[in-house]
Structure 1
């Protein structure tokens, strides 16, 4: 979630015809068919810059031949800069097409890649990290740096033409195997969603080796004085839960870890196993309430508290709802990918709906219904406008995005569950997650999977709520 707007006072006050459509696509791809990424990152002493190299073995998982690979150069979108200093493809010098100011650039391949074929791409670059007092996914403040997308991000061939918006998510990436080495100034705390496999120190610097497999992204942050907390599970009875937070946040950290553990247990039971041994919560400077990454969520420091309130909602409630929502993204965004700029409802509305299930499983129907009230409150911010849920981010204003995608979106899913019957809807979601595990799904895939389960025609319902794009998408390859 790029931004969860305030939930409002109505949020929980408790801690017909047969269809022949069949969703296509294999259940999963073997590790050998996934791209592999090796990152080497060297952080400047003042955290103002990152020098890096990327070695990418890019595997074409699409049925159509591929003759180029696109990269997102994110720093330039938020006041930073990234200069690519070298590009080699299959051992020969190459260039990234587009000017230095272009956010999305591409490299031509020497030969078209058939499905399953691969190309080796090596890039070197230097990125600057903007100074932002309010924080952000790529930003530095006093003694802290969030380094999301400080490297060229290989985009999935399924990425549309939508450019990132400042109030929404950005990516459509294939699942890959990650190996990352980070060189950082000694004494700083490194926080990532990856598994640490090695650590050395020399000349005032610390070198940390990590891996994460599979994952759609890799996040890291560094800070001075961060405290690490653990739930003490050590992987027994579920993943180990960690939390990194500023000093004095023991109570909020314990609460956030408890919510994360309970949400992972609930969603694992409903949607299939959580894919990693560890889950990490980081409390950091962030203008949004929270943002998701594989194996990790960043929670904004302004809501990382059990005291006070925001917009009429107790801070404890805000923290619980945000953590549960971000945990849900481990299934809807990471395990099942989607184009977050073109079809944001596929992960955001599903994460909202899953959060209701968290409240249902933990507290019961009254709490779940109270959380559902917050969706109506969101939608009411735009006078319950009948704007389709399935539009790209660019089709919404910032106000509409929160109201339609996060409010009307989960209300559509509730209406769909009511139309199909909750048991059938639950089965269709399970089938959807299993079928598109570590793949990229589209709205048309969600529709066809639901119709396959119920044996009914859902065109009218999808058309009224999501828009015709989800229906027409069935004709796309």
Structure 2
């Protein structure tokens, strides 16, 4: 997941702009296996979507791998649509309920506790077997205006709005005194802005099994909630005619039923099966040569943002080419960039072969800032934007190749102008940053799997640094250095203000708030790989990444896997000591440096004196 930048504000409209001051923070298969693999789960699902009532009904037949050396007496699934905090504040209510589970037509006892579905088997199973799971549910409606910049600030809006009205102390951390939610609702399972996103939350997803035990802890934390094995999917979806369905795999249009479209999707070797749909989607596409094969990059945007589809396609296509050269081949025949109703602090979300990107990232900064100002009851932002950016109050649209922020003086006005300019520069590169980040997840999260709940740095930190490699190869080292300053160092410095440094190897639920999580995982954790690259040299660094991808592709990697590969390739580089310092300890203040953030006390002192 690519997170939107956290930031801060004070009483004045001037500091409103600082809210955006830190870095943000799936597939078509070439072939579908002839039959279910005995080594990985196989999902055969039929689902019908009531687009008017925002409801769905599903029947899934899931083949569960089993073996004599690990006989199964129970099975655990996750229905992530029921994760605490998703689609409403009342955790007693569910978005999806299970109507029944059966094995060979025999009904089995089950327990659905939040997102965790436990199925007790009548006798131990030592060979692959299939469970039939019937369910139905609803898709929550997002609030009016969901997905705008104010909404993407998530829970921080209320805290920082209170700061503007004097309810928070000048040196207090945002969110002090307010309980942290179990999960952040990123809108991945919701309807908003004319778009319906089921993400991969809508079907029972088999839990990961490690050393004879299910990893069955309920999802909790600030980042991604999904953790899964590589699987095969055969999915048939029914929806009203006129609704554009976006999903992974080879699509086949079946005969309509009751004036409804019916489509079958086959996707092999994927970790999830995400679905998005809209009556307003516009499709654009372009082929790219990636590792000697043709990959079709598609963009699905609403009509309002269709002008940005070409840019999105070009970013994704170039990223696929760069990462395939560096790490190993991209395994699918297509990649899809899909506008989605994302909110709560996320800019994008990765799935196998596709990414969902927040609507706000396809839009300009001026309109988003004015919307944010309105949500907080602040007037006069147009004057501030004009002072910082000129009369138009918008970026130049050049993304990473922009000319940079205007210089700032030591005066309050000069500081403001400089900081607003940095915001414009950051926002101008954010769409490119987000898409390049989500494409990188096809290697780190989808290709090489890892536990994104209990060890989020394994995929997110590496993915964010991989995004810097995209900028380096496409635009040159100076631009990559600038992006590191804007999106990585600034993420850490701002996260430090609102939560402090912390080890990067913690579970998502261990961080104090979104800002600290983003600062440590997307900032400091990503910069660890820059330090590792300097320590072992480019040849060993990139060889280690290629070996890591080749060794763990289709599998699950532990937190130390890449470090151990790099250490073996460069035994004299003290790689393990570097890992301890950056990942297990707290030396970010000495090691990171840079960024575009200042302390809250200094900030308030300059603007509120």
Take 1:424 and 1:247, find their aligned partners in 2: how far apart are those partners?
46
Deviations 1:264-283 (A, max 9, x none): 00001111111111111111
What does residue range 25-424 of structure 1 map to in structure 2 within 5 Å?
31-60=37-66, 64-77=70-83, 78-79=86-87, 80-99=94-113, 102-112=114-124, 117-133=127-143, 134=146, 136-141=187-192, 143-148=194-199, 149-158=201-210, 160=215, 162-165=217-220, 167-232=222-287, 238-287=294-343, 288-305=346-363, 308=394, 311-313=423-425, 315-373=427-485, 374-383=487-496, 385-396=500-511, 397-424=513-540
CA contact (8 A) 1:132 1:139 kept: yes
Aligned 8 A contact 2:448 2:553 in 1: yes
Residues 87, 96 of structure 1: 8 Å contact kept: yes
Shift of 1:104: 1.4
Tell me which of 456, 460, 463 is aligned to 2:577: 460
Residue 459 of structure 1, CA deviation: 3.2
Q: Tell me if the contact between 1:305 and 1:316 (Cα under 8 Å) persists in the aligned partners.
A: no
Distance (Å, rounded) in 1 between the aligned partners of 2:463 and 2:116: 27
Cα distance in 2 for partners of 1:43, 1:443 equals 39
Q: CA deviation at 1:106?
A: 1.8
Give the secondary structure class of the aligned counterpart of 1:69: strand
Bigger drift between 77-86 and 181-190 goes to 77-86
- Equivalent position of 1:17 in the other structure: none
Contact 2:288–2:317 (Cα < 8 Å) also in 1:
no
Secondary structure, counterpart of 2:446 in structure 1: coil
Measure the CA separation in 2 of the matches of 1:5 and 1:67.
45
Is contact 2:22-2:491 (8 Å) kept?
Answer: no
Structure 1 position 151, deviation (Å): 1.6
SS for the counterpart of 2:294 is: coil
Residue from 425, 440, 456 that aligns with 2:541: 425
User: Structure 1 residue 234: deviation in Å?
Assistant: 9.7
- Structure holding more strand per residue: 1
Instruction: Note closer, same or farther for the CA distance 1:411–1:66 as it changes in structure 2 (3 Å cut).
Output: farther
**Deviating runs (4+, > 6 A) in structure 1?**
9-12
Give SS of 2:137's match.
strand
> How much is the aligned-residue C-alpha RMSD, in angstroms?
2.7
C-alpha distance in structure 1 between counterparts of 2:217 and 2:570, whole Å: 33
Change (3 A) 1:67 1:317: same
Shift of 1:466: 1.8
CA-CA distance at 1:75 after TM superposition: 2.1
Residue 65 of structure 1 and its aligned partner are, at CA, apart by 4.8
Cα distance 1:90–1:357, how it changes in 2: closer, same or farther (>3 A)?
farther
Comparing 371-380 with 143-152, greater Cα deviation is found at 143-152
Superposed displacement of residue 305, structure 1: 3.4
CA contact (8 A) 1:94 1:107 kept: yes
State the TM-score, normalizing by the size of structure 1. Answer: 0.87
Q: Structure 1 residues 179, 33: CA separation in 2 closer, same or farther (over 3 Å shift)? A: same
Displacement of 1:36: 1.0
What is the alpha-carbon distance in structure 1 between the residues aligned to residue 283 and residue 556 of structure 2? 34
SS of 1:217 mapped into structure 2? coil
SS state at 2:349 partner: strand
Name the residue aligned to 2:5.
5
Closer/same/farther in 2, CA of residues 67 and 249 from structure 1, 3 Å limit: same
Shift of 1:61: 8.4
Q: Deviations over 1:190-209 (max 9, x none)?
A: 11122202332232200000
Unaligned 5+ runs, structure 2? 8-19, 25-35, 88-93, 148-186, 366-393, 396-419, 586-609
Calculate the TM-score normalised by the size of structure 2: 0.69
Count how many residue pairs are aligned between Structure 1 and Structure 2: 447
Structure showing greater radius of gyration is 2
For the 8 Å contact 1:2–1:169, the answer to whether it is kept is no
What is the CA–CA distance in structure 2 between the aligned matches of 1:428 and 1:282, rounded to whole Å?
32
Cα distance change, pair 47–338 in 1 and its aligned pair in 2 (3 A): farther
